[in-house]
Amino acid sequence: MLRGIGDDAAVIRSSPGRTLLLTTDLLAEGIHFDLETATFEDIGYKAAVANLSDIAAMGGTPRYMLVAVAIPPSRTSAEVERLYRGLMRACRPYKVELVGGDTSASRHGLFLSITLTGFAQAGLALTRDGARVGDLLYVTGTLGDSLAGLNLLVTGRKRRIPAGGGSNERHRQYLRYLVDRHLHPTPRIKEGQLLATHRLATAAIDLSDGLSGDLAHVCEESGVGAEIETTALPLSPACRAYAAASRTDPVRLALTGGEDYELLFTISPGNRAKLDRLAQRTGCRFSRIGTVRPKRFGLRLRRGNGSLRRLAIAGYQHFQDLRTIPQGAAWSR
C-alpha cells in the first residue's frame, strides 16, 4: 500500500507472480440487512464478511478495503462509527486495511458499498468453471445455521427459542450459536488458501445465496450437473435441534439457507486422500456432499432411501421474505 484515504484513488503496489482479486457489494437497508434484527456493528461486520468470503472463494488473501456509505438524515454519526467498527473488527484477523471510502447522504435508508482487493498466486486463483464430471462435491463447515439464526432473530424475539428436548442451558447455547453464525459468520479464508496452494479444488464458490443456488452457479459455469446426498449434508447439533423443535426439515435449511459463507468446492476423485490428510493436519472441516454429474443429469438430490428427486433452485432472499411468512409456516412444510 502506497497511499490510502485522502486522495482521489488508493495506490497499491503490485508484485510479480501475484494476480489482483477485486470484488464489490452494494447492501441496502430493508433488503440485505435490517436494523431490527442487527446492530450497526453487526451490519458492518457481516458486510465485510460477505466480501472477505468472495476472496476466500478465489483462494486469495484479502488486503485492502474501500467503503462507501449513504446515510439517511435519521442516522447519527455515532451509528456510522459503530458500522465502521464492525467492518474493522471483521477485517482485523486478516490484517485487511481500510484504504478509502466515502460518506454521503441518502434520502431513504442506509446503503453500504464495499470494495475489497486481494491477491492470489498467479495461476492458482479458484474459479467456478473447472468442475468436471466425476469430481467430488465438498463443503466446509456446517450448513443452515445462518438461516436458523435469522429465523430465531425474526420470530424468536417474541417466541424465544422453540421448545424441545434437552436442558435449558444447552438450548441457550444453541440459540447463541445460531444467532452468532447469522450475525458473525466466518469467511473461510484459510480453507480457500489451502485449496488453492495445494491445487486441490477444480472449482469453488462461497455460499452466500444457499447451497442449491450457488451449486447451480458452479454447474452452469462448468457446464455440468450434480448429485447431492442429503444424508451427507453437514449439520450442526444446534441446527438439528432447531429443526426438530420447529418441525423444519433440516435438509431444507441446509439447501436453501443463505449467508452461511461456507465454501462449496469440487476436487478430482484422485485427490480425496490428499484432502483428508490436509483436513486432519489443519483441523479444517471438509464434508463430501455429492458428485459432479453430466449436464443432462441436472441437479438432483439422493435421499437416504436411495430415491432421486430434482433439486428446486430458489435464490435466497436474505431476511426480506421471512417477514411475509406466517410464523412457523416456513419451517413446517
Interacting residues toward a copy of itself by CB under 8 A: 2-3, 6-16, 18-26, 28-32, 53-55, 57-58, 60, 64, 66, 68-70, 99-102, 104-109, 111, 113, 115-118, 120, 122, 125, 127-129, 205-206, 221, 320
The least CB distance from residue 128 to a copy of itself, in Å, is 5
Rounded CA-CA distance 102/152 in Å is: 34
Rounded CA-CA distance 38/59 in Å is: 29
The least CB distance from residue 263 to a copy of itself, in Å, is 10
Query: Which residue, among 185, 65, 81, 173, has the nearest Cα to 115 in the 3D structure?
Result: 65
The least CB distance from residue 292 to a copy of itself, in Å, is 18
Judged by CB, which is closer to a copy of itself: 10, or 239? 10
Judged by CB, which is closer to a copy of itself: 122, or 308? 122
Q: How many CB atoms lie within 10 A of CB 315?
A: 13
The least CB distance from residue 183 to a copy of itself, in Å, is 20
Judged by CB, which is closer to a copy of itself: 180, or 221? 221
Rounded CA-CA distance 166/163 in Å is: 9
Q: How many CB atoms lie within 10 A of CB 165?
A: 9
Q: Which amino acid is at 293?
A: R
All cell numbers assigned to 302: 439422493
Q: Which residues contact 275 (CB under 8 A, 6 or more apart)?
A: 138, 200, 267, 286
Rounded CA-CA distance 76/97 in Å is: 24
Rounded CA-CA distance 104/82 in Å is: 16
The least CB distance from residue 74 to a copy of itself, in Å, is 13
Judged by CB, which is closer to a copy of itself: 9, or 78? 9
The least CB distance from residue 119 to a copy of itself, in Å, is 9
**CB neighbour class for 240 (10 Å; exposed up to 12, middle 13-18, buried from 19):** middle
The least CB distance from residue 82 to a copy of itself, in Å, is 19
Residue 288 φ/ψ, nearest 5 degrees? -80, 125
The least CB distance from residue 18 to a copy of itself, in Å, is 6
Query: Rg for the chain (alpha carbons), in Å?
Result: 20
**CB neighbour class for 73 (10 Å; exposed up to 12, middle 13-18, buried from 19):** exposed
Rounded CA-CA distance 128/202 in Å is: 8
Judged by CB, which is closer to a copy of itself: 53, or 268? 53
